[in-house]
A and B are shown apart, each in its own frame.
Chain A
């Protein structure tokens, strides 16, 4: 017994240190280091003739251009707007889904949640391509609309902002449904009975009890959709067509079309700053939710 105890006692500080070290190493290697590199590049000068096409200085010319050219501000605002609308659309679709799953018989909840997550088993890119097929001018949706005889000229959804909202709502739905489900599922059903008993009709009971109690889930789900949607590139590129200005696309163009590394890095840094506010909000909401319990 004493031998074992001694081994454990000797091994413990090492084991503990290693356990704490692993996530820090990970963050250092895959977050802090790349972040520092991107920050350094963003401050450098664009030199198209060198490889890589950047000379490290502290000039910050890219930032001057970022502030000076209205295109970038417009792209950021447009991204925030599209992400916000798409988040609301996702919430409106996700809330009833999460509510239905949370109120389903216990044996049904697992399979229903599984069905929500199931599309993740197929590649994201392939699923967005599939939407192109559905939304294009002679795609599935228009064929059905024409075939039904209700609409002669349905127009084309592909290439509009609506296609982007649809794409984001579709792709990010699980991120909305899971936090909502978690907060709705733990709600005591007796609370709704108490509300009804005190004279609240079903809609009032929902508004005054269910909705406020699921607020942490709403905030969590919305931020989990909104934050990646702001920087989303694939969906606006494939479904939104050429007219849509989003910051993810601007970043792509700067990097791959123009080869302007400092500009692309500056765009990325600015995007991070834009998203810090909602991320801090998210963390604070989570902390409050944990403290409330």
Chain B
């Protein structure tokens, strides 16, 4: 199946700054696709290129088989939900939502029916006559959403759609948006700097850095198999070390890594056969045991700090090799008497397949 959105070699410069530095990307119909990255990584510029507010200096964008070069925003089969919502302050909620349909010169009865329908969908039917400044932040967000989906676009672009909401509302709205996207079948392309939001909502994520896409994949893929240090570090917590490949045995790489106590084994990665590499181990994939007669495997160290987060705790462990690692543990029991605390001598172990090998 051909991609719904095809981005080919797109470059966008602002003066000396290269905001988008050569992006190739295919997005399939029905995806909830997230562009994830820190501020200034080019994710918003890429979204604006899709909407038509910016024109690429090089490359092209094809949406649903049509080359979008030179097509103005008002003629594109996409709609955008703005970070600031950009609701028209002089129009009621219903008029805001009707605006896009009025531009299509649809019959009045059809406009009214579709506005009522979409306002019911976002549970704002009772507020149709209000002005935007009479609504709460969450309600405004839903008006912006209603206005963007009422035209039934092929693609809905969302610029940090939940950034202005408080945390509890944001978490609930994340799931509501996913549910809505499945029901409508509209392809969503979402920009976010919040990795949790991307992980929760997206079917696929593109991690961006300095105008380029570093990795594209499903959330689990990006978390479990980051392609480089940047991605490993940006998504979730990671213990990252440097090492050298020294050989292969039983389908595993043998890697010399001083901070991890000498030679360790790790799953092979295509294209990496020798030389210096980076290693990443997620904190939840390390196990922590008390250092006593019953536990002798792994690396010895002592707990330097414990960060209690309620559902889990993060242990900062200083290893005898000189390295420091973070280990997370679920607090499955309430105030366990055998809890490991600050200053305790511990041993840290892990499975071979917990180690991710990345090019340096």
Interface residues of chain A, those whose CB is within 8 Å of chain B, are 188, 190-191, 193-201, 204, 208-209, 212-213, 292
Q: Find out whether the CB atom of B74 lies under 8 angstroms from the CB atom of A188.
A: no
Q: How far is the CB of A29 from chain B (nearest CB, A)?
A: 42
Q: Find out whether the CB atom of A194 lies under 8 angstroms from the CB atom of B104.
A: no
Q: Which residue of B lies closest to A194 (CB)?
A: B86
Other contacts beyond A193-B51, A212-B90, A213-B89: 9, CB < 8 A: A190-B84, A194-B88, A197-B78, A198-B79, A198-B103, A198-B151, A199-B74, A199-B75, A292-B133
The verdict on B350 contacting chain A, using a C-beta distance below 8 Å, is no
Which residues of B29-84 have CB atoms within 8 Å of chain A's CB atoms?
A: 51-53, 72-75, 78-80, 82, 84
In the docked arrangement, what's the CA distance between A196 and B48, Å?
12
The verdict on B99 contacting chain A, using a C-beta distance below 8 Å, is yes
In the docked arrangement, what's the CA distance between A209 and B86, Å?
11
Point out the residues of chain A lying under 8 angstroms from B51, CB to CB. 193, 197
Q: Find out whether the CB atom of B74 lies under 8 angstroms from the CB atom of A197.
A: yes
The verdict on B359 contacting chain A, using a C-beta distance below 8 Å, is no
Q: Find out whether the CB atom of A199 lies under 8 angstroms from the CB atom of B86.
A: no
In the docked arrangement, what's the CA distance between A200 and B98, Å?
12
In the docked arrangement, what's the CA distance between A191 and B86, Å?
5
The verdict on B147 contacting chain A, using a C-beta distance below 8 Å, is yes
Most chain-B CB neighbours within 10 Å: which of A194, A201, A213?
A194
Point out the residues of chain A lying under 8 angstroms from B82, CB to CB. 190, 193-194
B107-149 to A contact mask, C-beta < 8 Å, 1/0: 0000000000000000000000000010000000000000100
- Could you show 12 A-B contacts with beta carbons less than 8 Å apart? A188-B86, A191-B86, A196-B72, A197-B51, A198-B79, A198-B99, A198-B100, A198-B147, A200-B74, A201-B74, A208-B99, A292-B89
Q: Find out whether the CB atom of B90 lies under 8 angstroms from the CB atom of A197.
A: no
Point out the residues of chain B lying under 8 angstroms from A194, CB to CB. 80, 82, 86-88, 147
Most chain-B CB neighbours within 10 Å: which of A190, A200, A209?
A190
Q: Find out whether the CB atom of B90 lies under 8 angstroms from the CB atom of A196.
A: no
Most chain-A CB neighbours within 10 Å: which of B72, B74, B80, B82?
B74
In the docked arrangement, what's the CA distance between A208 and B86, Å?
14
Main secondary structure of the interface of A (DSSP, over half): helix
Whether A193 contacts B88 in the complex (CB less than 8 A), given A198-B100, A199-B74, A199-B151, comes out as no
Whether A199 contacts B104 in the complex (CB less than 8 A), given A188-B84, A190-B82, A194-B82, comes out as yes
In the docked arrangement, what's the CA distance between A191 and B72, Å?
16
Q: How far is the CB of A62 from chain B (nearest CB, A)?
A: 47
Q: How large is the interface on B (under 10, 10 to 19, 20 to 34, 35 or more residues)?
A: 20 to 34
Please tell me which one of the listed residues A190, A195, A213 contacts residue B99 in the complex, with CB atoms under 8 A apart.
A195
Q: How far is the CB of A19 from chain B (nearest CB, A)?
A: 33
In the docked arrangement, what's the CA distance between A193 and B51, Å?
9
Q: Find out whether the CB atom of B103 lies under 8 angstroms from the CB atom of A204.
A: yes
Please tell me which one of the listed residues B53, B103, B147, B151 contacts residue A193 in the complex, with CB atoms under 8 A apart.
B53
In the docked arrangement, what's the CA distance between A209 and B72, Å?
18
Point out the residues of chain B lying under 8 angstroms from A201, CB to CB. 74
In the docked arrangement, what's the CA distance between A190 and B72, Å?
16
Please tell me which one of the listed residues A188, A197, A204, A213 contacts residue B80 in the complex, with CB atoms under 8 A apart.
A197
Whether A199 contacts B100 in the complex (CB less than 8 A), given A190-B84, A193-B53, comes out as yes
Point out the residues of chain A lying under 8 angstroms from B133, CB to CB. 292
Point out the residues of chain B lying under 8 angstroms from A209, CB to CB. 88
Q: How far is the CB of A190 from chain B (nearest CB, A)?
A: 4
Most chain-A CB neighbours within 10 Å: which of B52, B72, B79, B89?
B89
In the docked arrangement, what's the CA distance between A23 and B54, Å?
53
Q: Which 6 A-B pairs have the closest CB atoms?
A: A199-B103, A198-B100, A194-B86, A190-B86, A196-B73, A197-B80
Point out the residues of chain A lying under 8 angstroms from B87, CB to CB. 194
In the docked arrangement, what's the CA distance between A204 and B103, Å?
9
In the docked arrangement, what's the CA distance between A185 and B84, Å?
17
In the docked arrangement, what's the CA distance between A212 and B80, Å?
23
In the docked arrangement, what's the CA distance between A190 and B83, Å?
10
Most chain-A CB neighbours within 10 Å: which of B73, B75, B84, B133?
B73
Q: Which residue of A lies closest to B75 (CB)?
A: A199
Point out the residues of chain B lying under 8 angstroms from A198, CB to CB. 74, 79, 99-100, 103, 147, 151
Q: How far is the CB of A99 from chain B (nearest CB, A)?
A: 18
Q: Which residue of B lies closest to A204 (CB)?
A: B103
Q: Which residue of A lies closest to B144 (CB)?
A: A194
Whether A196 contacts B74 in the complex (CB less than 8 A), given A204-B103, A208-B99, comes out as yes
Point out the residues of chain B lying under 8 angstroms from A188, CB to CB. 84, 86
Point out the residues of chain B lying under 8 angstroms from A208, CB to CB. 99
Q: Find out whether the CB atom of A200 lies under 8 angstroms from the CB atom of B88.
A: no
In the docked arrangement, what's the CA distance between A200 and B75, Å?
9
Q: How far is the CB of A187 from chain B (nearest CB, A)?
A: 9
Q: How far is the CB of A222 from chain B (nearest CB, A)?
A: 19
Point out the residues of chain A lying under 8 angstroms from B79, CB to CB. 197-198
Q: Which residue of B lies closest to A192 (CB)?
A: B86
Point out the residues of chain A lying under 8 angstroms from B104, CB to CB. 199
Most chain-A CB neighbours within 10 Å: which of B53, B72, B103, B147?
B103
Q: Find out whether the CB atom of A193 lies under 8 angstroms from the CB atom of B73.
A: yes
In the docked arrangement, what's the CA distance between A188 and B90, Å?
13
Q: How far is the CB of A111 from chain B (nearest CB, A)?
A: 22
Q: Which residue of B lies closest to A212 (CB)?
A: B90
In the docked arrangement, what's the CA distance between A193 and B72, Å?
11
Q: How far is the CB of B86 from chain A (nearest CB, A)?
A: 4
In the docked arrangement, what's the CA distance between A292 and B80, Å?
27
In the docked arrangement, what's the CA distance between A204 and B73, Å?
13
Point out the residues of chain A lying under 8 angstroms from B89, CB to CB. 213, 292
Most chain-A CB neighbours within 10 Å: which of B52, B99, B133?
B99
In the docked arrangement, what's the CA distance between A261 and B99, Å?
60
Most chain-B CB neighbours within 10 Å: which of A190, A198, A208, A209?
A198
Point out the residues of chain B lying under 8 angstroms from A190, CB to CB. 82, 84, 86
In the docked arrangement, what's the CA distance between A208 and B74, Å?
14
Point out the residues of chain A lying under 8 angstroms from B151, CB to CB. 198-199
Q: How far is the CB of B252 from chain A (nearest CB, A)?
A: 52
Q: How far is the CB of B336 from chain A (nearest CB, A)?
A: 52
